[in-house]
Amino acid sequence: MHILVTGGAGFIGSNLVSALLSDERVTGVIVLDNFSTGSKGNIEEFFTNSKFRLIEGDIRNYADCLQACNGVDFISHQAALGSVPRSIHDPLTTNDVNITGTLNIFTAAKEKKIKRIVYAASSSTYGDHPGLPKVEDKIGNPLSPYAVTKYVNELYAKVYADVYGMELIGLRYFNIFGPKQNPNGPYAAVIPLFAEALLKNQPPTINGDGSHSRDFTYVDNAVQANIRSIFTDNKEAVNQVYNIACGEQTSLNELFEGLRNEAGSKLQPVYGPERAGDVKHSLADITKAKKFLGYEPTISVGEGLKKTFKWYKESSGFGV
């Protein structure tokens, strides 16, 4: 069984590749990545693995997608241009990567007769819907160009399932964090930024008053959801979207406190303005993923923060 992972050099993708390479059901893992946000450092440990193959290419290039799909049984489509602020700053590139790129992958899979694609969706799709916890069939209006692109991915997935008889499973990630998440750049996620600040003994900036809350989810849980989606024999599970989270709410202040405890630090954060396009609170109902995929988060937020901080301290290059 050969599996293509687009964006396999990225944060979630590289963690998924590691798990797939150690799975006895998998005979080959192909990674397609242009390294715009991913890193060769995330996957260099796999270069000597006979089951691993890298294609340096871009999902915006249809020829690259066709090449990557040769001899593939399943696709895990992780490639995307993340970040709400980046999409507000540059909506054209976000649209090009997330919509055109995804359409290229879906179409190449259709042409190569690859039956199932598991794709990275996003909790941003819930937009301004006020209800908590978030349930898959109740969404609001998108609040950013990024959210629009991820919702369009879901619409295309339904059309490709209905028109071409393909199997597509969307995983709406809720604030995934863990090892290999990049702390550098203007659009870095909050946990690696907090960890970097603590390791450098510099006060981090929290956008808003710190009461914003998210359903932070350790990356191993997202990897589990992908693997269950790739291999499920439950026909009711396909052509669905699922919340992938822990079902717990953590504020930014609580998050920083947890990391600060791991660091043994007394640093206080600096509070700045809220970010445009951010929702105030997010919390997932994961009942559907449990029912149809057998998904069960195994790493709690607290345990995940311990593992993540330890990884940054030992591996990041900016440690104390």
Arithmetic mean of pLDDT, 107-126: 97
The C-alpha atoms of residue 221 and residue 7 are separated, in whole angstroms, by 18
Q: Per residue in 75-91, pLDDT tens?
A: 999 999 998 999 999 99
Q: Per residue in 125-167, pLDDT tens?
A: 999 999 999 999 999 999 999 999 999 999 999 999 999 999 9
pLDDT of residue 319: 41
The catalytic site residues sit at 146
The C-alpha atoms of residue 41 and residue 179 are separated, in whole angstroms, by 12
**Is residue 52 classed as helix, strand or coil in its secondary structure?**
strand
> What is the CB neighbour count within 10 angstroms for residue 248?
19
The C-alpha atoms of residue 145 and residue 139 are separated, in whole angstroms, by 16
More confident residue, 117 or 277: 117
pLDDT of residue 279: 77
pTM of the model: 0.94
pLDDT of residue 227: 98
Q: Which helix (H) or strand (E) holds 198?
A: helix 190-199
Decide yes or no: CATH 3.40.50.360 for domain 190-212+248-278+299-315. no
Arithmetic mean of pLDDT, 273-284: 85
Identify the architecture of domain 2-177+216-246+289-293 in CATH.
3-Layer(aba) Sandwich (3.40)
Q: Per residue in 192-202, pLDDT tens?
A: 999 999 999 99
Phi-psi region of 86 (alpha: psi -120 to 50; beta: other; left: phi over 0): alpha
Arithmetic mean of pLDDT, 265-294: 92
Break the chain into its structural domains and give their ranges.
2-177+216-246+289-293, 190-212+248-278+299-315
